[in-house]
A and B are shown apart, each in its own frame.
Chain A
Amino acid sequence: MSQQFGIMVMIDVKSALKTRNLRDHAYLIDNMKDFGSQNEGTNALISKVSGTYWANGNQAGEEVMNWLAIDINDMPQTVQKPSYYTYFRAKTIENFLKKHLTNVSRSEQGDTNTNDTDDRQLDIKVSQQGFNSILEQLQDITNVAEGGLKTNTDSTKNIESDWPLVSLTGQLESGDIKVIQEENNYINLPPVITNITGEAVDLGIIYPAEYGSPNFITRGWYWCATVNTAKAGKYRYTMHITLFDLVIKDDQISWKPVQLTLDSHILISKDAMRNGFTGAGDSYLPIY
C-alpha cells in the first residue's frame, strides 16, 4: 500500500529575497520523523522512506511524496481566503500569461482599451504577425531551458498588479505603500516550486510532477512524486523555487520573479514499514 508523505518547505521569503540566498532562509519539515527522517526544521532534511517488500524481496508498492512551499510570513494555510483575496492571487499568478496574451491580442486588433478588467475572454484570433509578437514578448519573460519552461529572472518585465497589497492579517492595504514596505506589513506572492531535478530524478528514484488541485486553499498547485523504493540509498534532489520580490515604481506595485534552488535528500531503506493504525501502538506490518 502506498503511503503519502508530506514535506513542508518553510521559507522566509523576504529575507531570502533580500540576500538572494534561499538555503539560509528555508527550513524543511516532513511527517516521517517517527520513521527516521533526520534534521527536521533545518535546511539539511534527510527524508526517510522505508521500502515495502513481499517476503521474497520484491517491491510491494511505491511511496508518494508531496511538497508544499510556504512563506513563513503568510497567513496559515487553513485560513479560507476572502473571495477578493483568492481572486487577487489567482489573477496575479495563474492568469498572468493569459492576461498578457489577451492584452497583446487586443492591441493587435486595434483595441486600445487593454485595461478592461474583463480580461478573461481570451481571443486567440490574431494574425501570424501578431502571434510572432506574442511569442517574442513571452520569450522575454520566460525561457525554455532543460526540463521545461522557466521564468526569466533577467527579464525587465515584472508581473503587474492592479490590486493593493495584503497585510499580514489578511486586510487589503490602503496606506502609503513605502511605509507598508518598511514595516514589513505585507504578504509576498506565495513561493512556487517550478521544478524538481537532480540525482534522485536522474537515477529514477523519484518521478516528480506538478499537479493541479481543485482546492483553493492549497492555491491550486502542488508537487508530488512517486518513489521507487526498490533502490535503497541516500539520494540528492534539487527544488527550483520562484519567489516574487515587491517592486514599487511611481506608486505602482509589481512583482519580480526570482528563481532560486534548494537541495534536499531522500534516504530509502529496506526497513520494514511500521503500522500506527492497529491500536497497538507502533508495530511492524505483517508480511505475507
Chain B
Amino acid sequence: MNYVNIKALVDVVAVLSNDQLDGNMYLFDTNKLQGSTKEGTSNLESAVQKNDQVLWSTYGLEVESYVKICDITVDETYLTKPKAEYYEGTNIQYWTSRVLKTPETTIPYSIQFEVGDTTTLFATKKGPSIKPVNR
C-alpha cells in the first residue's frame, strides 16, 4: 500500500470574482515520480495502482478564505466511494479512498467545492483523473 496525497489549492477570491472554478483551482499530488502529470492544474492526472490509499484535502490561497470539499464522485470500479473524515480536534476534513483496480487508461472523477459564503457548489468543467502508474 502506498499513500497518494492530493491537495487542492483554491484561489477563493478569484473563484468568487469570476464565478468559476476553472483556472482558479490548482491540484497537486505526491506521485509525479510514478507518472502523475498536469500538476498545478485543475485537471491533474494522478498515477495510481491497486491498493493505493488516496487522500484529498483543500485550502484557500489566502488562509482566511473559506473553501471545503463537499463531495467527490468517482468511478467505483476503480476507487472505493470517497469518505470524509476530520483531522483530530478540528472541523477540517480530508477525504479518503482506496484504489480497487489499477486503471488501464485515464479515468476522470469530479470534486465539488463550497467556496466563500455562497450557496453555489463549484466544480471544474474538465475535472481531474486517475491513470496507471509508470511501468
Contacts and interface: CB of A to CB of B under 8 A. Distances in A.
Interface stretch (A46-54, A78-86, A148-156, A248-256): A78-86
Contacts of B73: none
A191 B96 CA distance: 25
B55 A168 contact: yes
B89 to A, nearest CB: 6
B13 A31 contact: yes
B39 to A, nearest CB: 6
Contact of A33 (B11, B29, B89, B90): B11
B7 interface: yes
Contact of A10 (B2, B9, B58, B90): B9
Contacts of A25: 32
A77 B57 contact: no
Interface stretch (B59-67, B102-110, B120-128): B59-67
A72 B5 contact: yes
Contact of A77 (B14, B63, B90): B63
User: By DSSP majority rule, is chain A's interface helix, strand, loop, or mixed?
Assistant: loop
B30 interface: yes
Contacts of B40: 10, 27, 29, 40-42
B41 A78 contact: no
B28 A82 contact: no
Sorting the interface of chain A by its residue count into under 10, 10 to 19, 20 to 34 or 35 or more gives 35 or more
A73 B4 CA distance: 9
Interface residues of B, number: 34
Contacts of B90: 79-80
A214 B88 CA distance: 23
Given A27-B39, A33-B11, A184-B2, A73 B30 contact: yes
Given A18-B33, A77-B59, A183-B1, A170 B9 contact: no
A82 B59 CA distance: 19
Contact of A76 (B11, B26, B57): B57
B59 A6 contact: no
User: By DSSP majority rule, is chain B's interface helix, strand, loop, or mixed?
Assistant: mixed
Contacts, number: 99
A282 B39 CA distance: 30
Contacts of B13: 31, 276
Contacts of A82: 88-89
A8 interface: yes
Nearest to B42: A41
B61 A8 contact: yes
A99 interface: no
Contacts of A182: 2
B70 interface: no
Nearest to B5: A73
B85 interface: yes
A80 B92 CA distance: 9
A75 interface: yes
Contacts of B3: 168, 183-185
Contacts of B63: 77-78, 217
Contacts of B57: 75-76
B92 A79 contact: yes
Interface string B79-107: 00000010111101010000000000000
Top 9 closest pairs, chain A to chain B, by CB: A41-B40, A76-B59, A27-B40, A41-B26, A184-B3, A72-B28, A79-B87, A73-B5, A170-B87
Interface of B: 1-3, 5, 7, 9, 11, 13-14, 17, 24, 26, 28-30, 32-33, 39-41, 55, 57-59, 61-63, 85, 87-90, 92, 94
Given A10-B26, A82-B89, 13 more contacts: A6-B62, A8-B61, A10-B40, A29-B26, A41-B39, A72-B28, A75-B87, A76-B59, A168-B3, A169-B94, A170-B87, A183-B1, A184-B5
Interface of A: 6, 8, 10, 12, 14-15, 18-19, 24-25, 27, 29, 31, 33-34, 40-42, 72-73, 75-80, 82, 168-171, 182-185, 217, 276, 282
